[in-house]
């Protein structure tokens, strides 16, 4: 987490966005991130992101649920408190299937959503810098980090050639902070001093 300087370019359609991402990757500028109002298919591969492993977490939580349910019920029925229900076997697997299934789904869903929130670093009260208020409306925002070695004027020229509808330079908190949006002003003041 650190306050850094960013150059942003906004596009109003997918086509110039893909061109811009392509050019930025070949130019050697440090692509911070791309913000879009909805999932744009193919953008992750265009940016060189790997496929997410979230579904593997879901599977692991799922089998945890399965074994919890089966283990708990068999332990109760065979050792902790066996009860004779009309002469039926103590370990009656078919009768355990519904609860086993439900707990599998429950564990997988809850675990996956928590993992999702952790990976995305989202939580009630968490705030992140919004580069453009319309990035959740109709603009696709490409954000490039202005490092010490970056020639800012050259970068802005480069961005303007990609036909953006808007460009800007912002000082922003890179990660998240807990609290309110107006707290961010203090961060940028610290950066300036």
Q: How many residues bind another protein (CB under 8 A)?
A: 69
Residues within window 109-148 making contact with another protein, judged by CB under 8 A:
109-110, 112-113, 116-117, 119-130, 133-138
Nearer CB in complex with another protein: 84/193: 84
Contacts within 8 Å (CB) and 24+ apart, 63-69:
63/104, 64/107, 64/111, 65/103, 65/104, 65/105, 65/106, 65/107, 65/108, 66/100, 66/103, 66/104, 68/103, 68/107, 69/96, 69/99, 69/100, 69/102, 69/103, 69/104
With binding defined as CB under 8 A, does residue 161 bind another protein? no
Which residues are within 8 A (CB) of 3 and not within 5 positions of it... i.e. 6 or more apart? Answer: 171, 172, 173, 174, 187, 188, 190, 191
Q: Which of 25, 54, 157, 161 binds another protein (CB under 8 A)?
A: 54
**CA torsion angle 157 161 167 172 (round to 10):** -60
**Only segment of 3-11, 39-47, 146-154, 185-193 that touches another protein (CB under 8 A):** 39-47
With binding defined as CB under 8 A, does residue 73 bind another protein? yes
The H or E element spanning position 54 is helix 54-75
For residue 146, the minimal CB distance to another protein (Å) is 18
Nearer CB in complex with another protein: 69/155: 69
* Phi, psi for 173 (deg, rounded to 5): -70, 130
Q: Which of 3, 10, 24, 103 binds another protein (CB under 8 A)?
A: 103
* Residue ranges in contact with another protein by CB under 8 A: 14-15, 18, 33-40, 42-44, 47, 49, 51-52, 54-55, 58, 62, 72-73, 76-77, 80-81, 83, 85, 88, 92, 95-96, 98-99, 101-103, 105-106, 108-110, 112-113, 116-117, 119-130, 133-138, 176, 180-181
């Amino acid at each position: 987490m650190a306050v850094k300087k960013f150059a942003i370019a906004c596009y109003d359609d997918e086509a110039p966005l893909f061109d811009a991402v392509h050019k930025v990757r070949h130019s050697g500028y440090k692509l911070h991130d791309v913000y879009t109002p909805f999932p744009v298919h193919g953008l992750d591969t265009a940016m060189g992101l790997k496929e997410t492993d979230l579904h593997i977490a879901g599977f692991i939580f799922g089998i945890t649920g399965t074994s919890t349910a089966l283990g708990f019920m068999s332990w109760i029925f065979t050792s902790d408190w066996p009860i004779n229900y009309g002469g039926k076997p103590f370990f009656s697997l078919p009768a355990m299937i519904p609860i086993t299934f439900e707990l599998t789904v429950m564990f997988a869903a809850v675990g996956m959503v928590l993992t999702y929130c952790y990976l995305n670093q989202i939580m009630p009260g968490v705030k992140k810098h919004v580069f453009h208020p319309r990035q959740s409306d109709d603009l696709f925002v490409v954000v490039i980090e202005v490092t010490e070695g970056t020639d800012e004027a050259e970068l802005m020229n480069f961005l303007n050639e990609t036909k953006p509808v808007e460009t800007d330079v912002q000082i922003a908190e890179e990660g998240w902070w807990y609290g309110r949006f107006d707290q961010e002003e203090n961060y940028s003041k610290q950066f300036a001093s």
